[in-house]
Amino acid sequence: MQTSHPKTDGAPAPAEAVAHLPPPPARMPRPALFLDMDGVLAPLADTPDAVVPDPDRTAALRNAAVRLGGRVAIISGRTIDEIDRIAEASAASASGVHGLERRRADGSLQRAKASPGVRHAVAAFETFARTRPGVIVEDKAVSAGLHYRGAPAEEAAALSLAEDLAEQTGLTLQAGNLVVELKTPGTSKGTALTAFMQEPPFAGAVPVMLGDDLTDEDGFRAATELGGFGVLVGPVRETAARYGLPDVAAVLAWLNAVEERA
């Protein structure tokens, strides 16, 4: 079994200091922005398809990309198709399913080959959800997601099932905010950010990763290792992020203000 858990090595914010994370600067030398979707660009919802396009979000993304020379990417646990639906195709660069899908700025696509265990996980999740109202299964081809935001009392049972399946299949267990996912091994939001930083227009820039979930900690660490930083969105906790923003509205306000410093 491969299990993805957040680490706090590599300059974490200690627990006692997390409550005082300052907001990120709005003017930086050649910033490159990497943004999670749910909980960062869009409010969390009970079901994945309840998140819909928003003209203010779309405008903020498009305007930031123009100001920063295209150095804006969305890195999400959602598929790229879902990213494009919600963001109205406003991000040329995008990575989905925790790095298993990646679209470069030139439009070329890179997708990992699905592990055979994903089909087994999808079937087991569907059996689990059949008798539990509010539990939703998400089939992403290269991963299987089990959402229990609509049935939080099922959390222990969902995690236990996912742990057993990870042992059986060799899939990576990715726990999130009222969701657990079993994914094809080998990538993370951190590997996606690192790959983007090796390509135009991101190469040589300062990476800034905005995220809210435990899955974003890999991105925070990758940004820090490459000379940038992470921004934790939402409730405070121990994190590798250096800065913080309270909610989606604050993220969009910051996105509208951020610019390159000469």
Residue 112 to residue 84: CA distance in whole angstroms: 19
Residue 97 to residue 95: CA distance in whole angstroms: 7
Residue 176, pLDDT score: 85
Q: Is the pLDDT of residue 256 over 80?
A: yes
Q: Is the pLDDT of residue 4 over 70?
A: no
Residue 19, pLDDT score: 55
In this prediction, residues 69-93 reach a mean pLDDT of: 97
Listing DSSP states for 100-153 in one string gives TEEE-TTS-EEEPPPPTHHHHHHHHHHHHHHTSTT-EEEE-SSEEEEE-TT-GG
Cβ–Cβ < 8 Å for 197, 32: yes
Condensed to tens digits (0 to 9), the pLDDT of residues 39-65 reads 999 999 888 899 999 999 999 999 999
Condensed to tens digits (0 to 9), the pLDDT of residues 129-187 reads 999 999 999 999 999 999 999 999 999 999 999 999 999 999 999 988 899 999 999 99
Q: Band the pLDDT of 128: cuts 50, 70, 90.
A: very high
Condensed to tens digits (0 to 9), the pLDDT of residues 205-223 reads 999 999 999 999 999 999 9
Domains 30-105+187-260 and 117-183 share a fold: no
How far CA 54 is from CA of 37, 61, 87, in Å, comes to 12, 11, 8
In this prediction, residues 118-124 reach a mean pLDDT of: 97
Q: Band the pLDDT of 260: cuts 50, 70, 90.
A: very high
Which of 92, 60, 59 shows the shortest CA–CA distance to 73?
92
| Cβ-Cβ contacts under 8 Å for 119 (sequence gap 6 or more) | none
Query: Quick one: angle between helices 217-225 and 189-196, nearest 10?
Result: 30
Structure tokens at 243: 């800065």
> What is the residue-averaged pLDDT of the chain?
92
Catalytic pick among 36, 84, 213, 216:
36
Q: List for the chain the helix, strand, coil content (%; round to 5).
A: 35, 25, 40
Least confident of 64-68, 173-177, 230-234: 173-177
Q: Is 36 annotated as catalytic?
A: yes
Q: What is the CATH topology of the domain spanning 30-105+187-260?
A: Rossmann fold (3.40.50)
CATH of domain 117-183: 3.30.70.1020
Q: Is the pLDDT of residue 1 over 70?
A: no
Please indicate whether residue 177 or residue 234 has the higher confidence score (pLDDT).
Answer: 234
How far CA 141 is from CA of 15, 121, 209, in Å, comes to 37, 11, 26
Q: Is the pLDDT of residue 9 over 80?
A: no
pLDDT above 70 as % of the chain: 92
Burial label, 67 (beta-carbon count in 10 A; 0-12, 13-18, 19+): middle
* Domain residue ranges of the chain, discontinuous segments joined by +: 30-105+187-260, 117-183
Q: Band the pLDDT of 14: cuts 50, 70, 90.
A: very low
Residue 3, pLDDT score: 43
